[in-house]
């Protein structure tokens, strides 16, 4: 295709994590279902898993391309966001993401220790903080922050768990300090008494146990908030906030980072000490995002960043300012860009900064990730 308009077709990589769904991402892309989990499709320029773009009739890494074409970014020296399609068929790890200062120190420390960037035990893969939002594409279940302390104590009392804690962090540390034989006895005891706690929490405890078995994350789960998002609802997670995704399909927008500190419900590397050191253990706050409506667009702005996610059902000609780089994904239907590029469901483009506006029409639904 002609790249004079600074618009480039993308080819995106897919993470086949074991928790991923089988159908959603292949159906989006029109690919054959091969039975392997397709957990995340990354649209961006992260150095460990960059998308490719079609440039001069060949696909090149977007990360490499932007090193030589920073003028296409706009006001940033590096690509500031990571855009994902996520499909979870079973729970992800209980995790946190670092703040800016923690990420920088952690990255430099692991470099100095000689830990390879692709080592499974590597925690800090870049220098960036991680703040994220999810836009639910289906009913979406997640854990986010903790219940009020008195509610956690009540659950422990009902289940006859002899935990002594005076703060949310104490609650988590008490669990992390358990020996395996203690963990086994406690979880077996809870399984016999699930009917004593609320049905929703009991259901998910049993579901998680059936997947992960005896796992320290099960006890942390007992004290966490469970959210159910309806399609179209958006929630964000700040750095250092304890969270996990349980099940569902979503769009994710986040700062350009792959830094994750895990502490249960995973086959990946667990670092309980680091989670206790840098995590924020506090009562969860409902952090649903309401959109700004601009020219009939729904614009979701990610707090504490300059990132934004635009959602639009397209059935008319629309115009978008191109003062910074963007990524557009067609979720459904067909979309035409600048009257010259026709995109179908699952296709995506990198849109470089340009003085002229972007014109979109067609009949479909699109998501655009960008920044101010």
Q: What CATH number is given to the structural domain containing 322?
A: 2.60.120.10
Given a contact cutoff of 8 angstroms between Cβ atoms, the answer to whether 62 and 350 are in contact is: yes
Tell whether 294 is in a known binding site.
no
Pairing assessment for the beta strands 52-55 and 7-11 based on DSSP bridges: antiparallel
Half-sphere exposure of 354 (CA within 13 A, CB side): 15
State residue 303's pLDDT score. Answer: 95
Tell whether 311 is in a known binding site.
no
User: How many residues are there in the chain?
Assistant: 372
Given a contact cutoff of 8 angstroms between Cβ atoms, the answer to whether 143 and 94 are in contact is: yes
Structure confidence by residue, pLDDT tens digits, 20-66: 999 999 999 999 999 999 999 999 999 999 999 999 999 999 999 99
pTM, two decimals, is 0.95
- Record the tokens describing residue 9, joined without a space: 């077709």
Quickly tell me which residue has 């200062």 as its tokens.
101
* Helix/strand/coil for 280: strand
Structure confidence by residue, pLDDT tens digits, 161-201: 999 999 999 999 999 999 999 999 999 999 999 999 999 99
State residue 294's pLDDT score. Answer: 78
Give percent of the chain above pLDDT 70: 99
State residue 5's pLDDT score. Answer: 85
If you ran DSSP here, which 8-state letter would residue 124 be given? Answer: -
Domain that holds residue 334: 295-371
Which positions are annotated as active-site residues? 262
Mean pLDDT, range 12-18, rounded to an integer = 96
State residue 372's pLDDT score. Answer: 84
Structure confidence by residue, pLDDT tens digits, 332-369: 999 999 988 999 999 999 999 987 888 999 999 999 99
Domain boundary among 193, 222, 251: 222
State residue 245's pLDDT score. Answer: 98
State residue 1's pLDDT score. Answer: 47
State residue 43's pLDDT score. Answer: 98
State residue 76's pLDDT score. Answer: 67
Return the closest-CA partner of residue 27 out of 74, 77, 87: 87
Give percent of the chain above pLDDT 90: 89
Task: Flag whether 356 is in a domain.
Answer: yes
Domain boundary among 202, 222, 242: 222
Which distant-in-sequence residues (6+ apart) come within 8 Å of 300 by Cβ? 133, 135, 234, 253, 289, 291, 292, 308, 309, 310, 311
Mean pLDDT, the chain, rounded, equals 94
Mean pLDDT, range 65-85, rounded to an integer = 89
State residue 92's pLDDT score. Answer: 95
Tell whether 110 is in a known binding site.
no
In the predicted structure, residue 146 carries a pLDDT above the cut 60: yes
Task: Flag whether 260 is in a domain.
Answer: no
Domain boundary among 181, 207, 222: 222
What is the count of structural domains for the chain? 2
State residue 101's pLDDT score. Answer: 96
As to burial, measured by CB atoms within 10 angstroms (0-12 exposed, 13-18 middle, 19+ buried), residue 61 is middle
Residues 138-173 as b/e (b if ≥16 CB within 10 A, e otherwise) read: bebbbbbbbbebeebbebbeebebebebeebeebbe
Backbone angles phi, psi at 90, to 5 degrees: -150, 165
Tell whether 69 is in a known binding site.
no
Mean pLDDT, range 101-124, rounded to an integer = 95
Task: Flag whether 305 is in a domain.
Answer: yes
Structure confidence by residue, pLDDT tens digits, 115-135: 999 999 999 999 999 999 999
d(CA 235, CA 302): 9
* Helix/strand/coil for 249: strand
């Amino acid at each position: 295709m002609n790249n004079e308009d600074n618009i480039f077709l993308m080819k995106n990589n897919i993470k086949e994590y074991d928790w991923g769904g089988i159908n959603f991402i292949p159906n989006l892309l029109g690919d054959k279902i091969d039975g392997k989990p397709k957990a995340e499709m990354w649209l961006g320029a992260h150095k460990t898993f960059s998308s490719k773009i079609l440039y001069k009739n060949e696909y090149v890494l977007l990360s490499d391309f932007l090193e030589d074409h920073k003028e296409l970014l706009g006001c940033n020296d590096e690509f500031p966001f990571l855009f994902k399609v996520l499909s979870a068929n079973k729970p992800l790890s209980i995790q946190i993401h670092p703040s800016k200062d923690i990420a920088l120190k952690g990255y430099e420390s692991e470099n100095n220790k000689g830990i390879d960037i692709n080592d499974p035990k590597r925690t800090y893969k870049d220098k960036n903080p991680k703040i994220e939002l999810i836009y639910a594409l289906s009913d979406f279940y997640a854990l986010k922050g903790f219940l009020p302390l008195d509610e956690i104590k009540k659950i422990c009392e009902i289940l006859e768990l002899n935990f002594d804690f005076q703060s949310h962090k104490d609650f988590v540390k008490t669990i992390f300090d358990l020996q395996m034989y203690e963990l086994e006895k406690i979880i077996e005891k809870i399984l016999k008494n699930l009917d004593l706690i609320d049905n929703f929490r009991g259901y998910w405890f049993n579901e998680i146990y059936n997947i992960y078995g005896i796992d320290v994350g099960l006890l942390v789960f007992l004290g966490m908030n469970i959210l159910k998002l309806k399609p179209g609802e958006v929630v964000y997670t700040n750095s250092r906030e304890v969270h996990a995704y349980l099940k569902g399909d979503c769009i994710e927008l986040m700062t350009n980072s792959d830094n994750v500190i895990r502490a249960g419900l995973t086959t990946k590397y667990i670092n309980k000490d680091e989670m206790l050191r840098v995590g924020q253990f506090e009562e969860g706050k409902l952090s649903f995002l309401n959109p700004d409506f601009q020219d009939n667009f729904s614009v979701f702005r990610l707090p504490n960043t300059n990132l934004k996610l635009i959602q639009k059902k397209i059935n008319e000609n629309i115009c978008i300012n191109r003062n910074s780089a963007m990524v557009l994904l067609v979720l459904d239907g067909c979309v035409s860009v600048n009257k010259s590029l026709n995109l179908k469901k699952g296709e995506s483009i990198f849109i470089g900064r340009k003085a002229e506006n972007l014109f979109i029409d067609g009949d479909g639904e699109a998501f655009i990730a960008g920044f101010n």
